[in-house]
């Protein structure tokens, strides 16, 4: 990139490069040099926009977590349509088929990143915590519609589904699970509370 040329959407280009690197090389491959090279920028560009690399990573993780709002809204709008199991199978597959699994590994991998995230995110791993909120909101809507039992423990089912999904997709180098495997796991978790599955 020539000097003196304005770069559009620097942050987003850097975040997209981080997505590609995380998916391809995992947390150990995510360095400031790899990110700037992946975005086609000089190394100094990252440090002009972020205090340091861990500040970049913290903003990256929070940005990717905040993007789940669109997915959460779509899932909530699906309440009352299709089947509960199919809606959640699709949601879990979309969530963990994205960069989310790699972000969980990144947060686990870097102590300083976790410390920075704790300043604004008091508990849990941001992507997983948002996923629990998303699924709990959907399950609450389905409970209100009578498609799951009125006494369904939504606050226990949501983290169980997220944890189950994470375990199914955790091997980022292996073949992702088939849809039917994800559906079977979702059905197993929800079977006790489903009405007319």
Per-residue pLDDT of 126-177, as tens digits, reads: 788 889 999 999 999 999 999 999 999 999 999 999 999 988 988 756 688 9
Q: Based on the fold, state whether residues 96 and 37 are members of the same structural domain.
A: no
Provide the CATH number for the domain around residue 78. 1.10.357
CB neighbour list of residue 189: distance below 8 Å, 6 or more residues apart: 157, 160, 161, 164
Note whether 108 and 71 are same-domain residues: yes
194: helix, strand or coil: strand
Distance CA 136, CA 14 (A): 32
- The structure's pTM equals 0.81
Helix axes 84-96, 154-169, angle to 10 degrees: 50
**pLDDT grade for 112, boundaries at 50, 70 and 90:** confident
User: pLDDT at residue 6 above 50?
Assistant: no
**Tally of domains in the chain:** 2
Q: 73: how many CB neighbours lie within 10 A of its CB? A: 12
């Amino acid at each position: 990139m020539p000097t003196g040329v304005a770069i559009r959407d620097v942050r987003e280009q850097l975040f997209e490069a981080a997505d590609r690197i995380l998916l391809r090389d995992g947390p150990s491959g995510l360095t400031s040099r790899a990110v700037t090279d992946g975005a086609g920028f000089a190394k100094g560009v990252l440090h002009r926009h972020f205090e340091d690399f861990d500040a970049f990573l913290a903003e990256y993780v929070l940005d990717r977590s905040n993007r789940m709002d669109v997915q959460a809204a779509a899932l909530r709008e699906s309440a009352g349509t299709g089947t509960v199991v199919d809606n959640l199978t699709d949601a879990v597959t979309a969530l963990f088929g994205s960069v989310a699994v790699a972000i969980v590994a990144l947060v686990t991998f870097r102590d300083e990143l976790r410390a920075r995230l704790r300043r604004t995110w008091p508990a849990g791993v941001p992507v997983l915590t948002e996923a629990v909120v998303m699924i709990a909101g959907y399950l609450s809507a389905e409970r209100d519609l009578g498609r799951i039992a009125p006494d369904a423990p939504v606050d226990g089912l949501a983290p169980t589904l997220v944890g189950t999904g994470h375990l199914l997709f955790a091997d980022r180098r292996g073949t992702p699970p088939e849809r039917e495997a994800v559906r079977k796991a979702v059905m197993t978790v929800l079977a006790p509370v489903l009405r007319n599955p």
